[in-house]
Structure formats: C-alpha cells, structure tokens
Amino acid sequence: MPRRVLPLTDTQIRKIKPAASVLRLSDGDGLYLLVQPSGGKWWRFDYIHQGRRKTLSFGTYPEVSLVAARARRAAAREQVASGIDPSRERQQARDAAVQAMTFAEVADEWLERQKHVLAPVTFEKATWMLKSLVNPWLGKRPIAEIEPPELLSVLRRIESRGKHETAHRTKQRCGQVFRYVIATGRAQRDPSADLRDALTPVRSTHRAAVTHPEQVGELLSAIDGYHGSFVVRSALQLAPLVFVRPGELRRAEWSEVDLDAAEWRIPAERMKMREAHIVPLSTQAVAILQELRPLTERSRYVFPSIRTITRPMSDGTINAALRRLGYDSDQHVGHGFRAMASTLLNEMGWAPDVIERQLAHAPRNKVRAAYNRAQHLAERRKMMQAWSDFLDGLRRNAR
C-alpha cells in the first residue's frame, strides 16, 4: 500500500530551514518543493508522458504561492490526461512569444546593452535613429517577419529629405539590432544585409575648418567679440585651445578639471575610443576656466545648458554661435577646431605621434600603440602651451 503523503502548509514551508543538501518536500500528485542549501525554494512537478518521466518547473516560493502551485499542477495533470505534454506546450508558447517580439522591443533591449558600451553622444544618436526614424513604421512589426523591402521603404523616407548619410547610418544601426536578435535565437536573417547598394552613395566630405593662419586669427578675434551668453563665449574660446571633440567639450565636468595641476582628465566612458584622456591646460585655458568657474560651479557641468544647470550645453550650441559670428557650415564647424590644430601643429613641426595622442586618435600601428601608452605627456604639455601662444600671436595680427 503506497505511503500517504500529507499536503504541505504555508506555515511548514515558511519555517523550513535549509540543510547541507537539497531537501524535497512533497505535496502529492507529483508536486514538490526543493529547498536549496542557499535557501532558495523551487516548485517542481513530475509526470509521465508516453512512458517517459518528465519534470516541469513552476517557479519559486514565495513568488509562486502554495495555492498557485497547486493550480498549476491541476492544469498540468489535465493536459497529461488529455495526451498533451505540458513541457512541450510551454516551449511552443515561449517560441511563439519570441517570434512575436516586435522590432521596438528588441531595439530597446539592444540599446539597454549598449548604454555602457557606446559613447554618450553615439548612444543618443543610436536611440534617436531607432526610436524616431524606424519605430514609427517598423516598431510594431514582429522582428522575425520584417523583409528587406519594408526596411528599404523606411530608409527611403530618410533619403527623400536629403539625409543620405543618416539613411546609411540608420541602416547600420538596424543591422546591429537584427544581428543581435539572430545571435539570441529569435530570428533567422538580417534584412539589412540584402540592401547593399540599394541606397544612394554618400560622398565623403571633410568637416569644414579654417586652417589658414590669417583666417584663424580673424576667427579667434571674432570669437572674442561674441555678444551672446558668457558660457557659450567661454566654450568658443576654450575649443581651439584644447581641440577635443565637441561632445567631450560640452559635457566637461568640474570634477574632471584640476586648475592647480593645469589638467583636464576625461574619463574613458565619455571618449570615442573608450580610453581615458588627459588634456594639459595652457595658462590661457586655465584663465578662461578660472573666470568661468564662479558662474557655473553650482552645476556639475563646466558648460551647463542655458535652461537648466542639471544638463550640459546642447549639441548644436557651438555651431549656432559660429553661425551668429558669420561662419556657415561650409566654412567652419565646432569639430573643425581639431582639423585646425592638426594642420597647423604639423606645419609647426611637432611630432605626429604627439599630435595624434593629443587628438585621442586610435593608433593604426599596434607596435607604436604600445609605445604611445606613455602618452607623451611632457611633450604634450609643451605643445599645448606653445599652441596657445601661437594662437595669441595670430589673434594679435588679426587685430
């Protein structure tokens, strides 16, 4: 005669203490609770289907209560009695749910994983492309069902506004999302791969920059006469002295700046190459920051937004200020200060390795990259001061 199993009670489950090995508490009819040495409590259900013994997980206690576990047991026993395998049924339901995942859901999942991988500016642009340019048309579509013509239609909308480079970049981001969903087993193909040569080619253009010494002097003189916000003028004055990327400049934080040591240390997570970067500050750069500090030190940002000190200056502020000074996008842009410095410093005879390291470019030669880890800091300090003095001379000549 089989041994009679006494049903479990909530009190009994709550009071049970973990042991050195796994404890098994039976509730009868195939349902039992496994108590792990770590204290975790897992519901299990054993059943026989087509002569084979199988086990189904019902979740953990107390997330799944005793009453809920018994209800799941009753439903599973009913399936078994009808010739249905509960495990197979559950897997099919999961597969159907995976196949039904929309592009927007997977894109959000991919973005969450990229949050601490991509540079902040790059992450913002990727988010904007996927959420604003793609999701309105493809966001609700099951990602496993999207065909190349559908994606091309979305990209053509971007092209129709003359944004050919944006269309190509959006295609690349979509490809990353599709490859991610393939890697995680939720789709079989990447439709973006079939759109090769389908978009209008983009003509590569260099960012506009003033590089002739006489014109540089005129630009610096114009910046000094800027009549807008003092914060924006300070950013314009500092930009040619430090020649970092515009996103790195506008997101600068006071905690990164040591005026006594004349250094600005940018953390790796804000750099394009994901490597911490040191910017030696010339006496001219220190003077600009010292004058600015009393105005913005209540903010974490050196150059806070005009609307709120809790956010940095907006992405287009520097370029808008240059437009006010009469420099359109074909003459000079915020990123152009880097080309200006690179061109003139090379003409001045500074070592290319020192210039490239200060520009925070990734070394192409792996052997030299190891040497460059020394960062040429002493030479860079001399170069940054000499560069600021040189710009002062150009400014005086222009006046």
On whether residue 202 sits in a domain, the answer given is: no
The pTM of the full predicted model, rounded to 2 decimals, is 0.59
Are residues 368 and 284 located together in one domain of the fold? yes
Are residues 90 and 113 located together in one domain of the fold? no
Mean pLDDT of 288-296: 97
Confidence of residue 140 (pLDDT cuts 50, 70, 90): very high
Helix, strand or coil, per DSSP, at residue 62: coil
**Domain, as residue range, for 220:** 213-398
**H/E run at residue 136:** helix 135-138
Instruction: Report how far residue 195's alpha carbon sits from residue 20's, in angstroms, rounded to the nearest whole number.
Output: 59
**H/E run at residue 44:** strand 41-49
Q: DSSP readout, 300-328?
A: SBSSB-SS-TTSBPPTTHHHHHHHHTT--
- Quick one: which of 378, 337, 333 has its CA closest to 354? 378
Beta-bridge mates of residue 53: 48
**Residues annotated as catalytic (active site), given as ranges:** 245, 272, 335, 338, 361, 371
Are residues 145 and 113 located together in one domain of the fold? yes
CATH number for position 107: 1.10.150.130
Do the Cβ atoms of 358 and 375 come closer than 8 Å?
no
Percent of the chain whose pLDDT exceeds 70: 92
Q: CB neighbours (10 Å) of residue 197?
A: 6
Are residues 144 and 111 located together in one domain of the fold? yes
On whether residue 178 sits in a domain, the answer given is: yes
Q: Choose the final residue of a domain: 53, 76, 98.
A: 98
Are residues 230 and 374 located together in one domain of the fold? yes
Are residues 252 and 392 located together in one domain of the fold? yes
170-229 pLDDT, tens per residue? 999 999 999 998 888 788 889 999 998 899 887 655 678 999 999 999 999 999 999 999
Give helix 230-242 / helix 283-296 axis angle, nearest 10°: 150
Q: CB neighbours (10 Å) of residue 185?
A: 9
Are residues 108 and 140 located together in one domain of the fold? yes
Instruction: Report how far residue 75's alpha carbon sits from residue 100's, in angstroms, rounded to the nearest whole number.
Output: 25
How many structural domains does the chain have?
A: 3
CATH number for position 363: 1.10.443.10
Are residues 20 and 49 located together in one domain of the fold? yes
- Quick one: which of 345, 312, 344, 340 has its CA closest to 327? 340
Q: CB neighbours (10 Å) of residue 319?
A: 18
On whether residue 268 sits in a domain, the answer given is: yes
On whether residue 380 sits in a domain, the answer given is: yes
Res 1 pLDDT > 50: no
Are residues 241 and 295 located together in one domain of the fold? yes
On whether residue 207 sits in a domain, the answer given is: no
Q: Choose the final residue of a domain: 163, 195, 227.
A: 195
Radius of gyration of the chain (CA): 31
Confidence of residue 116 (pLDDT cuts 50, 70, 90): confident
310-361 pLDDT, tens per residue? 999 998 999 999 999 999 988 999 999 999 999 999 999 999 999 999 998 8
Tell me what pLDDT residue 3 has.
Answer: 62
Tell me what pLDDT residue 87 has.
Answer: 86
On whether residue 310 sits in a domain, the answer given is: yes
Tell me what pLDDT residue 96 has.
Answer: 63
Instruction: Report how far residue 47's alpha carbon sits from residue 73's, in angstroms, rounded to the nearest whole number.
Output: 10
Are residues 83 and 110 located together in one domain of the fold? no
Tokens describing residue 375: 């960062």
CATH number for position 38: 3.30.160.390
Helix, strand or coil, per DSSP, at residue 118: coil
List all residues 6 or more positions away from 14 whose beta carbon is below 8 Å from its beta carbon: none
Mean pLDDT of 113-141: 91
Are residues 190 and 62 located together in one domain of the fold? no
Instruction: Report how far residue 229's alpha carbon sits from residue 237's, in angstroms, rounded to the nearest whole number.
Output: 12
Are residues 80 and 170 located together in one domain of the fold? no
356-386 pLDDT, tens per residue? 999 988 665 544 544 454 468 999 999 999 9
ω into residue 62 within 30 of 0, thus cis? yes
